[in-house]
């Protein structure tokens, strides 16, 4: 550490001995540097701050009813494409750069805008800062204003254009689906007409065939019932004719006996003779028949006792019932023949019907899929229409200009006071460096220790220098003039700083006009 301090003091002493080279170098660099920074063109910077609000109160209210675009992704896309060539050409035209710059080359204008326009921020708080530098403050202000306007137009207009395009696409798809549905409906109708005998009725083919068989069985059962009823009526008619009771007629009693006999026959087919209902019906039938026999005997003894109701065998209720039973039996046989023909026809089509039903199922399935897609598109169209209304009447992305662009009054570059101070330090440093370099080129021995190191021999002694009054006066005068030179340089620096800070730097034009 002691050696380092010794070396530093030795070099500092050697540089101080050549201190007169510091002033001219510092003066030359300082004056030249100050003249250079004074002649640098002023660069004005205009900027603006825009806040983008991507959160809307309508989003939770209209969720599921409208389609809201991804505002965050759209905003990132806008910021990434803002400085594209098309946008920069639009900014150049709107800012009249060809008139201001006097340069009609659009490529040069676009290159200049791409290099100078800055878009920063928006990482977390969605606050973007747009800046632009130019030597003309009016141009800087116009470019920033046009850039902010374009940024807002792209943010509000792109989503509306996307929704309009989506609505047009959905309308075209609906027209296509509607035409396809009409064609499919016509195909299904034609298929049903061509295969009506396989498809008529409810249910599938096998259920219709089973239903026809069941109807045939029911009809045959009804035929047997009607046949039994007719036979019973015929037996009763024969018994009535043999007993000589044909002359007495009681239509009401005969009707009740006939109805009760029909009910009894029906119940016997379903129940045994010991069933309570059957026994009750038989008892009532026996009572009615006994009553008829009593009335007939009374009528035979005294025909005037009971008035004859009826006009002979033509109005005999028993004969009327027999006629009705025969008509019913004939109707049932006709119905049986029809059911037999139907069952035979269905059994003949049993091999063709499954293929027809399978083909109809395929056609219907395709039609249902297209119909469901058509209905979904209709719902999407309604969502698109409502989304379009929301976009037209509200803004999904709200742009707020926090700081509008203003015409800059002061230049942003160069920072002449800072550069002037830097040039002063550079001049003093360069002068000191030059003096140090001379001390290294023309090295001298200043003490005994250095002499011993150079000669490699021990130093026996040294003779001190005696400074006379003349020497001291000359030394003081040298220090004075050196301090005067340094003070003059600092004074010049103070004057330059004062002119820059008080905006009176135009006075330096008279000075720098004489410099090359």
β-strand partners of 341:
none
Cα–Cα dist 415/42, whole Å: 9
Looking at 302, 325, 340, the residue that finishes a domain is 302
- Confidence bin at 309 (pLDDT 50/70/90): very low
Cα–Cα dist 101/121, whole Å: 30
- pTM value surpassing 0.85: no
Are 147 and 79 spatial neighbours (Cβ–Cβ below 8 Å)?
Answer: no
Are 498 and 416 spatial neighbours (Cβ–Cβ below 8 Å)?
Answer: no
In a domain, 219, yes or no: no
Least confident among 258-262, 489-493, 507-511: 507-511
Joined tokens for residue 48: 């603006």
pLDDT digits (tens, 9 = 90+) for 169-180: 888 888 898 898
| 254 and 271 part of one domain | yes
Residue 123 has pLDDT above 50, yes or no: yes
Task: Tell me the DSSP string of 257-320.
Answer: HHHHHHHHHHHHHHS-TTSHHHHHHHHHHHHHHHHHHHHHHHHHH-TTTS---S-SGGG-HHHH
pLDDT of amino acid 256: 84
| 48 and 167 part of one domain | yes
What is the dihedral sign for C-alpha 394, 396, 402, 405?
A: negative
**Between residues 142 and 81, the one the model is more confident about:** 142
Cα–Cα dist 209/344, whole Å: 9
| 31 and 111 part of one domain | no
pLDDT of amino acid 148: 85
In a domain, 31, yes or no: yes
Looking at 403, 436, 462, the residue that finishes a domain is 403
Joined tokens for residue 26: 């510092």
| 20 and 75 part of one domain | no
Average pLDDT estimate for 100-114: 77
**Between residues 72 and 194, the one the model is more confident about:** 194
Cα–Cα dist 238/153, whole Å: 109
pLDDT of amino acid 162: 61
Average pLDDT estimate for 501-505: 69
In degrees and rounded to multiples of 5, residue 134 shows phi and psi of: -160, 155
In a domain, 377, yes or no: no
Cα–Cα dist 140/116, whole Å: 10
Cα–Cα dist 495/81, whole Å: 49
The mean pLDDT of the chain is 76
pLDDT of amino acid 312: 40
CA distances from 350 to 198, 217, 220, 355, 356 (A): 9, 20, 23, 10, 10
pLDDT of amino acid 101: 66
Are 189 and 112 spatial neighbours (Cβ–Cβ below 8 Å)?
Answer: no
| 9 and 93 part of one domain | no
In a domain, 194, yes or no: no
In a domain, 288, yes or no: yes
Domain that holds residue 444: 1-40+414-504
Cα–Cα dist 464/165, whole Å: 100
| 424 and 489 part of one domain | yes
Are 151 and 348 spatial neighbours (Cβ–Cβ below 8 Å)?
Answer: no
Cα–Cα dist 314/294, whole Å: 23
Query: How many residues does the structure list for the chain?
Result: 516
| 58 and 143 part of one domain | yes
pLDDT of amino acid 105: 78
Average pLDDT estimate for 460-485: 77
- Count of domains in the chain? 3
| pLDDT above 70 coverage of the chain, percent | 73
Residue 157 has pLDDT above 60, yes or no: no
| 33 and 22 part of one domain | yes
Question: Which residues does 88 contact at the CB level (< 8 Å), separation at least 6?
Answer: 109, 110, 113, 114, 117
Looking at 286, 302, 318, the residue that finishes a domain is 302
Q: Which of 275-279, 436-440, 486-490 has the highest mean pLDDT?
A: 486-490
Residue 277 has pLDDT above 70, yes or no: yes
Burial of 391 by CB count in 10 Å (0-12 exposed, 13-18 middle, 19+ buried)?
A: buried
pLDDT of amino acid 103: 63
In a domain, 167, yes or no: yes
| 138 and 26 part of one domain | no
| 443 and 395 part of one domain | no
pLDDT of amino acid 11: 67
Cα–Cα dist 12/371, whole Å: 98
Write out the H or E segment, with its range, that includes residue 128: strand 127-134
pLDDT digits (tens, 9 = 90+) for 346-370: 777 777 777 777 888 888 888 899 8
| 431 and 395 part of one domain | no
pLDDT of amino acid 10: 65
Cα–Cα dist 377/383, whole Å: 10
| CATH code of residue 170 | 3.30.70.1130
In a domain, 201, yes or no: no
Q: Exposure string (b/e) for 416-447, b if CB count within 10 Å is 16 or more?
A: bbebbeebbeebbebbbebbbeebeeeeeeee
In a domain, 360, yes or no: no
**Between residues 304 and 149, the one the model is more confident about:** 149
| 31 and 153 part of one domain | no
How far, in whole angstroms, is CA 162 from its chain's centroid? 11
pLDDT digits (tens, 9 = 90+) for 205-259: 677 778 888 988 998 898 888 888 888 887 877 776 555 444 556 777 788 888 8
- Confidence bin at 448 (pLDDT 50/70/90): low
pLDDT of amino acid 160: 57
pLDDT digits (tens, 9 = 90+) for 6-46: 666 766 776 777 778 888 888 899 888 888 887 788 788 88
Nearest to 232 by CA among 328, 329, 325, 336: 325
């Amino acid at each position: 550490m002691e050696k380092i301090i010794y070396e530093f003091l030795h070099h500092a002493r050697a540089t101080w001995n050549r201190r007169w080279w510091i002033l001219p170098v510092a003066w030359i660099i300082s004056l030249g540097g100050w003249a250079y920074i004074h002649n640098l063109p002023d660069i004005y910077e205009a900027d603006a701050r825009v806040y983008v609000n991507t959160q809307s109160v309508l989003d939770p209210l209209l969720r599921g009813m409208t389609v809201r675009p991804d505002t965050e992704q759209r905003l990132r896309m806008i910021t990434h494409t803002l400085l594209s060539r098309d946008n920069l050409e639009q900014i150049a035209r709107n800012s009249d750069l060809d008139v201001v710059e006097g340069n009609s080359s659009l490529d040069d204008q676009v290159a200049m805008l791409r290099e100078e326009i800055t878009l920063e921020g928006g990482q977390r708080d969605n606050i973007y800062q747009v800046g632009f530098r130019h030597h003309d403050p009016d141009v800087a202000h116009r470019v920033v204003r046009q850039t902010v306007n374009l940024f807002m137009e792209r943010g509000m207009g792109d989503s509306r254009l996307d929704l309009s395009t989506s609505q047009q696409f959905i309308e075209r798809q609906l027209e296509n689906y509607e035409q396809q549905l009409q064609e499919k409906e016509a195909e299904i109708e034609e298929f049903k007409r061509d295969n009506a005998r396989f498809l008529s009725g409810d249910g599938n083919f096998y259920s219709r065939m089973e239903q026809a068989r069941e109807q045939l069985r029911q009809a045959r059962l009804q035929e047997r019932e009607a046949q039994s009823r007719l036979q019973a009526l015929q037996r009763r008619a024969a018994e009535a004719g043999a007993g000589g009771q044909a002359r007495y007629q009681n239509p009401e009693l005969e009707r009740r006996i006939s109805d009760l006999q029909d009910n009894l026959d029906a119940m016997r087919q379903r129940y045994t003779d010991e069933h309570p209902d059957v026994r009750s019906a038989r008892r009532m039938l026996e009572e009615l028949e006994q009553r008829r026999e009593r009335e007939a005997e009374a009528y035979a003894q005294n025909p005037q006792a009971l008035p004859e109701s009826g006009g002979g065998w033509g109005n005999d209720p028993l004969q009327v019932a027999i006629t009705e039973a025969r008509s019913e039996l004939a109707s049932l046989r006709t119905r049986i023949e029809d059911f037999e023909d139907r069952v035979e026809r269905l059994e003949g089509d049993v091999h063709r019907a499954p293929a027809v039903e399978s083909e109809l199922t395929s056609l219907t399935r395709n039609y249902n899929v297209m119909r469901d897609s058509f209905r979904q598109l209709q719902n999407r169209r309604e969502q698109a229409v409502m989304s379009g209304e929301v976009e037209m009447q509200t803004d999904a992305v709200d742009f707020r200009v926090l700081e509008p662009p203003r015409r800059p009054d002061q230049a942003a570059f160069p920072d002449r006071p800072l550069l002037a101070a830097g040039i002063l330090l550079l001049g003093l440093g360069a002068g000191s460096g030059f003096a140090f370099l001379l001390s290294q080129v023309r090295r001298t021995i200043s003490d005994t220790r250095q002499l011993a190191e150079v000669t490699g021999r021990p130093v026996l002694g040294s003779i001190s220098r005696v400074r006379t009054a003349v020497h001291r006066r000359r030394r003081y005068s040298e220090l004075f003039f050196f301090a005067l030179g340094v003070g003059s340089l600092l004074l010049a620096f103070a004057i330059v700083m004062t002119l820059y800070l008080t905006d009176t730097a135009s006075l330096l034009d008279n000075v720098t006009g004489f410099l090359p």
